[in-house]
Structure 1
Amino acid sequence: MKDYLTSAQLEDYLDFFGEATDVVATIALYVTIAFFLFIAIYAVVIRNRDEIYLKGARKLIAGLTIGYSVGVIATIGSLKILKDVWGGEINTNYWLIVALLVFAVLACIGCLVIKKYSQRAFKITAWACLAVGVAYSVVLLFVIKPEEDYVPLSSWQMYLFSAILVGVIVTLALLGGKKDTQYNAKSLTYAAVCIALSFALSYIKFFSLPQGGSVTFASLLPLALYSYMFGTRRGLIAGIVYGFLQFIQSPQFYEPMQVLLDYPIAFGAIGVAGIGRKFTFMKNDVIAQFATGTIIAVVLRYFAHVISGYYVFSSWAMEGYTALSWAFVYNLFTIVDLVIVLVMGVLVLLSRQVRWMVLTADSAPELQTANN
């Protein structure tokens, strides 16, 4: 667009898209609060109805949630992407990451279709797709050069600490995952609802930081609840998908490993929030399990951003801080995000009906404890 518009015209268009995005996001904040209040009141009103009615009501709520989320994503997302395109902020590296996401989505769909016909073919296809995805990621890491002024302080140290963090996340995902990892229609539907709702809520921001990062209206709550309901293995995958979507929404590409740390790794960590359900010493306390698991997940996300901040964004350190201390201080916005998620999560889980739904979402054996 820079070739067809004067600098003044381009600036006017960018200001328009920026202001329009802010207005729509503000409206969406209040509409979202009203939407949640409506759902809460509706749930209270129908709580004593028969199971057939409740089943239909749950489908209605899921449909409304997906519809509302898609509407918010389409509206604000379009304005945001248009602004980035017109401003020349989207380059080839952006589309290379988008290509990885598209491949992952198509691979998952293809594997699910193949699984219906042949378990053996499914395993071969799944491993082949995984190998291609890993190979593509490795190519991105070593072929794409970091932007000037963002060369890591120490590439090998960044890779080492990133590998350790990924190892911790994967270990927790394996430990907290459920034995039955079949992706039935119910778990996929819940995943779609939770990812869409988290993504929609991520557009509703209380404030954004100048160097990236923001505090949102409990955007991580749906993902954390999904992990608690369906296990950390499924939660990890949902978090990774959400991380790639976050990159598409707000791309910050300075160095390949930085992209992986700030998006799929950081948000994939939220997928291990369900680990709290494995803590037997608080087995009958849903709220304590959820809160503990979510704290662990957000702390892992925090360290992903700290590694990225220290090794890639050291030149952005505020005067009076070392690069490391500034990385720790700057990324404390994730803890503010955590507090909001915990407050909203506790309020939601105070409802006996919600606890019952959460505990029985995956036909979990804790059904009898739901009414505690």
Structure 2
Amino acid sequence: MDRTRLVTMIEIAVMAGLAHILSYVKFEALWAFGGSISLVMVPVFLMAFRRGWKAGVTTGLIVGCLGLMFGGYIVHPIQLVLDYPLAFAVLGFAGIVSSKEALSAGKIIGGLLLGTLLRLLCHFISGIVWFGEAAPEDWPVALYSLAYNASYLIPEMLVTAVALVFLLNASPSFFKHHIQSVNRSASV
């Protein structure tokens, strides 16, 4: 097996495990029906920016499956897929912003917006279809689902952005592995 591939697989496993652990460090006081702010997205985005979107999607998929296995709330098989594996896997698409050039704070923010919006879309659809009965009588179901899911995803994205930009400034070389791999494969 190629050494780079093995190291990538090990990093995916470690980051998925770290994300699962970080999912237990959360703030829930504001939400009566679930949802919380945690650092669960940080390792998924790290993998996406460090190793590219495929590694990010794989890491997110594993994180979503772990979340499902250790405390998922299931009302329907499609809701299960939307709220767990898919919602976390799409975070990995943030790695699309990785390129041959150095990663910047602007690219991190752009990737975070893309990944978080895709995750919001998954939870939004699930909320409309399966959790609409929780909406107050005077609220349209779609507006309630959007407001509810954005109320914890936006703050979680902001906390993740602070953590990733801090890490970028403190150790920019941590993010360069993917860039070096791309440059090596392009020169072959």
User: What TM-score results when the alignment is normalised by the length of structure 1?
Assistant: 0.46
Report the identity percentage. Answer: 25
Q: What secondary structure sits across from 1:184 in the alignment? A: helix
Between the aligned partners of 2:84 and 2:103, the Cα distance in structure 1 is 31
The 8 Å contact of residues 51 and 177 in structure 2, kept in 1 or not, is answered as no
Cα deviation for residue 322 of structure 1 reads 1.0
Matching residue's letter, 2:177: T
Cα deviation for residue 249 of structure 1 reads 2.1
Matching residue's letter, 2:47: Y
Cα deviation for residue 182 of structure 1 reads 8.7
Cα deviation for residue 274 of structure 1 reads 0.8
Matching residue's letter, 2:25: I
Q: 1:275-296, CA deviations, whole angstroms, 9 ceiling, x for partnerless residues?
A: 1114x8xx44422222211110
Instruction: Find the partner of 1:292 among 101, 110, 117.
Output: 110
1:188 paired residue number: 9
Instruction: Find the partner of 1:343 among 159, 162, 169.
Output: 162
2:88 paired residue number: 267
**In the superposition, relative to structure 1, how do residues 316 and 249 fare at CA in structure 2: closer, same or farther (>3 Å)?**
same
Between the aligned partners of 1:357 and 1:268, the Cα distance in structure 2 is 22
Between the aligned partners of 1:260 and 1:300, the Cα distance in structure 2 is 14
1:359 paired residue number: 176
1:315 paired residue number: 133
2:124 paired residue number: 306
Q: Does the alignment pair 1:234 with 2:55? A: yes
Cα deviation for residue 366 of structure 1 reads 6.3
Between the aligned partners of 2:80 and 2:102, the Cα distance in structure 1 is 39
1:214 paired residue number: 36
2:46 paired residue number: 225
Matching residue's letter, 2:93: V
Matching residue's letter, 1:286: S
The 8 Å contact of residues 239 and 268 in structure 1, kept in 2 or not, is answered as yes
Matching residue's letter, 1:292: G
Between the aligned partners of 2:35 and 2:149, the Cα distance in structure 1 is 8
RMSD: 2.2
Between the aligned partners of 1:361 and 1:312, the Cα distance in structure 2 is 39
1:3 paired residue number: none
**In the superposition, relative to structure 1, how do residues 315 and 183 fare at CA in structure 2: closer, same or farther (>3 Å)?**
farther
The 8 Å contact of residues 49 and 178 in structure 2, kept in 1 or not, is answered as no
Cα deviation for residue 320 of structure 1 reads 2.2
Q: What secondary structure sits across from 2:37 in the alignment? A: strand
If asked which structure has higher relative contact order (CA below 8 Å, sep 6+), I would say 2
